[in-house]
Structure 1
Amino acid sequence: MPKSNHRIGTRSAHIPSSFRRKKATILAELERPDNDYTDKSPKGSVDAEILELIAKINEFEGYVTTSSCAGRVAVFVEGRKALREDKSGVVDGASDAQQETGRDVSSNATSVGGGPGGKGHGNKWFPVPVKEVSSTSPTALHDLFQLEPKSTPSSGPTTSNLSYRPDLRLIKLSFSPLILHILCANLQGAKVLLAAAINAGFRESGVQSLKALDDEEAGVMLAIRTAGLGFDTVVGCVEEQEDYDVLLQVDKSCVDEHYLRMCMGVINERFVWNNERKERLIRELVKLNTESEANTQWEDADTRRERKRQEGLQRRAEKQDQNMRAQTSPETETKQESMLEEGLLPQYGI
């Protein structure tokens, strides 16, 4: 990882010591060999496609990346949702089979359950490799997404007989575009980087923490992201089946292979756009590097405004001085005398 040496948005004296320590720790982790590196992300490592961008950002003295994703295709299976019991004793969210068998679902209402979107107990996701599916199998994408096709003899749910119920757990195919979280040494540095991100097309970027307003040691967390490239669609649901008193969960498709191929076409196109915006962001960072080399001393808005005013006054004074010199120069006096002799100028005091 390159040593940070650019001072965009920060002066050396304005970088808190706590920020320097955090950055040193993070960079030390990033420099570890791939077989020895792991992080808290589901993948457990940094995406290779984003390493150049991360290196560009970490070159700046006042920035350090804390998490990242180059863009990802995934299948998300919702977890169990919270089950609520109404006044009649019927559990809202329990299936008919659960009500008929008398399973103790009311206890699950408090012990398991997630929020909206199924981000609760039992949710899972797995990444899908972005590649052209060369297989001629009529269920190639179903196999890739680990979905049981709806046309199998077990007759899973279809779009014609699928209806909503409170305990329904959906399976979604999604594309998440590039996202970065960057710790900035101060608010001014965050503003500079935010402007670069927006110029690159990451319109939904923004500051996530303003603790630095109360404690300058806290730093400013900036998220670089765009929601416009995201893609999310339902492709199936979880079906529970009993087999010898064992409750099995089967991920059933509710769409056909043609629909999945269309979705992958959309996702591949979004990946191209995602990469274009990433390259634009790299160019914006290169531009910041150039500006930092031309002006390494940071100044706030008021200081810059005063400097510009003084520069303007100085230019005006120099221009006035040049005009006065031109009027009193020997060449000007000789020219005026010649014009008087030729009667081209009026003569006063005669």
Structure 2
Amino acid sequence: MGIFDKIKEKLSHEFIDIIEWLDYTPDTIAHRFERYQNEIKNNAKLIVREGQTAVFINEGQLADVFGPGTYTLNTQNLPILSTLKGWKYGFDSPFKAEVYFVNTHLFTDEKWGTKNPITLSDDRFGLVEIRAFGTYAFKISDAGTFIKDIVGTDANFTNFEINEHLKSLIATRFTDTVGEANLPIELYAANTTELSETCKEVMQPEFTSVGISLEKFYIENVSMPEELKKEIFEYSRIDKLDLDKLTKFKTAKAIEAAANNEGGTAGAGMGMGMGFALAQQMGNAMSKPQAQQPQAAATPPPMPVATQYYYAQNNTQQGPVSFDQLQALFASRTINRNSLIWKQGMSEWKALQEIEELKPFLGGNTPPPLPGQ
């Protein structure tokens, strides 16, 4: 073999005739095409397959971008690179440029989740904490911007390298979105589809700014502490129950519990409020002197008239309701200690906590002061 044949053979190995990317894994997003001293032969063939984009970088500057197809690399197909290199009359010698292949297919089933609980304010339950997790899918929509802003000089860029950044972005925007939604706490888990669509719209501009398109975004679960779940379920049941039936049921449970209690504590089923009310009535009856029973009563005494109460809700008068119904309203949080109450004989409306016979609702067990003190 002559000296010229050896030189020709050496140059044929150093200068690239075909530029293509075949060997890649499903998680590879960008791959830099490696060749000897970055030299590419004039009129070399560039093959870009479906699901790929080829990006040419010249001395750190973004040059030409090619979609799927086969190209002959010359000044006509490399207008930006030709301008950067200042080729006015074409070029015959090999030229240097970095070539990145970008995988533009859809990356699916990517996981996201909130690392820390999100604190929300609810009108009925106060400050509450929730967590959320789900999946998302993305693809590269602008390969040039993605290479310039994200990949840099990384020779083999995978979705693992971008996922941590994307998950942090999603968690931050999700927190902002649910905080501004101001939904009742129980509706977050029941409206994941609508919430997912809203979050996707909010996040899309930030993905697009770095050449990425957020194609799918799903919230799979919104979780909260078990104690809060139980309280929400209990509130939901009470909200749908007939208050009169609920009062009768609670009273029956209280009588049953009192009968089974060896200590005689009345109203264990209704809680401390009903227990104190029943105990007060029993004490008053036992403290009265026993009158001598007549030999024969002509007629029974008249039935006592039950006190009827009115209460204010949303600046509207409600009622009348009985003592037991009023207690059930207090237990279901329809009214509270500051709710205004009125009954016949009162000169004005007063807060529930200021009415003596209703104070047992609050659960206190301190007796009133002795007369004269």
The two structures have a TM-score, normalised by structure 2, of 0.21
TM-score (norm 1): 0.22
Q: RCO (CA 8 Å, sep 6+): is it higher in 1 or 2?
A: 1
